[in-house]
Homo-oligomer: A and B are copies of this chain.
Amino acid sequence: MTADRLGFLLARHGQTMKLRLREALSVCGLGPRHGAILLRLAQAGSISQQALLEALTVDASTLVAILNDLERDALTERRRDPTDRRRHIVEITPEGRSAACAVEHAVADVEREAFADLDAEEIAQLHTLLARVHVRPTTEPGAGTECAPGCAPE
């Protein structure tokens, strides 16, 4: 069942993984993005909002909504950057660390099941390879080959 383009395969499995993560994290009342942010913060303690934007590949307005949720639940806090009062720095709270721990467990469960057929080395390989795919387009849109002649429908 590998009779599928790698691009489609990646898109499809990514979608499935997102759905599973959502289900697993719904126990904690969080979405996948919320979880990813909490884990980052649990590692780093505090991150600038800009850095989160780059790391998570989300729209700025989306990030605001997520941070509002987290702050409403007292899991994170935003404070102004003293050196540039336009910028926000996001910090994790003690409650946030507890939640991050829960997220860690939930994600680990999902991963254990999803990657059950791979051994540790293969999982590491997959991780490394995935980390090396380009997330952002490097060339201008439209730079590639156009649709072949006579291909366009309608």
Chain A residues within 8 Å of B, Cβ to Cβ: 1-18, 20-21, 23-24, 27-30, 32, 35-36, 39-40, 43, 55-57, 73-75, 95, 98-99, 101-102, 105-118, 122-123, 125-135, 137-139, 141, 144-148, 150-154
Given A10-B14, A28-B147, A152-B29, verify A5-B107 contact (CB < 8 Å): yes
Given A14-B11, A113-B134, A115-B133, verify A28-B105 contact (CB < 8 Å): no
- Asked if A110 and B7 sit within 8 Å, CB to CB, the answer is yes
CA distance A11 to B14 in the complex (A): 4
- Asked if A137 and B113 sit within 8 Å, CB to CB, the answer is yes
Q: CB-CB < 8 A to A74: which residues of B?
A: 153
- Asked if B134 and A116 sit within 8 Å, CB to CB, the answer is yes
- Asked if B11 and A130 sit within 8 Å, CB to CB, the answer is no
Q: CB-CB < 8 A to A7: which residues of B?
A: 17, 20-21, 107, 110-111, 114
Closest to A23 in B: B141
What distance in Å separates the Cβ of A98 from its nearest Cβ neighbour in chain B?
A: 5
Number of copies: 2
Given A17-B11, A57-B15, A75-B153, verify A133-B147 contact (CB < 8 Å): no
Given A14-B13, A153-B74, verify A6-B132 contact (CB < 8 Å): no
